[in-house]
Amino acid sequence: MRVYFRYAIKETFSNLWRNRMMTIAAVLTVAVSLSLVGGALLLKQSAAQASVQWQQGTRVTVWMAPTASAGEISSIKTQLANLHIVKSCEYFSQSQDYLEAKKLLPPDEFSVLTVADMPSSFRCIPTVPANAFVVVSSLSNEPGVFKVTAPEQQIREMNHAIRIAQIVMLLIAAVLLLSATVLILNTIRMAIFSRRREVSVMKLVGATNWFIRIPYITEGFIQGLIGAVVAMLLVTAFHTWYPLNNEFQLNTSALIGTNAVVLIVGVVIGSVGSAIAIRRFLDV
């Protein structure tokens, strides 16, 4: 057993050095591919976390027309109170909205406004963020209502853009992972071809198939492992140094989970590539 272990280690590193240029190419391809996979996973988790935080602060604003009567305002207040999908509502009078506009608008724009020009408003928080659209559709055409707004559409558009970016990154990563597998396969194939006579002699003296195969599978395993470690370092650097808004910031456990996936995929890519090469190109 010890002799077999020493043989496997010796042959593995001998093959890696003999085909070092192909080995470097395979390792770099795996590293780049898995870096994109890790980046896509971090982006997906960041988007999910930010979406939850945004949804928690979702607010529907019912803007009343500046000319809305007291009866119309009272009617909207009653309807909001009877909507079970609304958690809470706060009424802002025209003077309150006027003071808020003073804080938000440039002086030259605010100077042309008067209290009578300002709409009053109801600021409401739905029980579930998705219910914001129900509130919008229910009250938009009510008498005295100027407009009903909710930030849900902007959040949805942003999430849609993030999902598209994730899909593009994952597709690129998949192509590069396939390229890495092919490179590892060709590296093993070249190693086997260069030693085909030695392999034939080993078969003649009674070497088993697995005795011959293990060094090559180990070679692919090491290539995938090194590429995965490089990718983990790149993913960690991206997580540490890339400036993200607070709602996008992920904790350390998310990084550890992503790196674990990167490591497993790298090892599987290397091992599977080698196994395919041996099964397909080595006649033992």
Least confident of 24-38, 87-101, 205-219: 205-219
* pTM of the complete model: 0.59
* Position 146 pLDDT exceeds 80: yes
Q: How is 97-137 classified by DSSP, letter by letter?
A: HHHHHHHHS-HHHHTT--GGGSPPEEEEEESSGGGHHHHHH
User: Is the separation of the CB atoms in 115 and 94 below 8 Å?
Assistant: yes
Highest mean pLDDT, choosing among 19-28, 42-51, 81-90: 81-90
* Position 222 pLDDT exceeds 80: yes
Chain segment 187-205, per-residue pLDDT in tens: 666 766 666 676 677 677 7
Looking at residue 123, its pLDDT comes to 92
Q: What is the dihedral of CA 222, 223, 224, 229, to 10 degrees?
A: 80
| pLDDT (mean) for 205-212 | 72
Chain segment 256-275, per-residue pLDDT in tens: 888 898 899 888 887 877 77
Chain segment 64-75, per-residue pLDDT in tens: 999 999 999 999
What domains appear along the chain, each with residue ranges and CATH number? Answer: 2-53+156-281 (no CATH), 59-150 (3.30.70.3040)
Q: How confident is the model at residue 35 (pLDDT cuts 50, 70, 90)?
A: confident
User: Is the separation of the CB atoms in 187 and 223 below 8 Å?
Assistant: yes
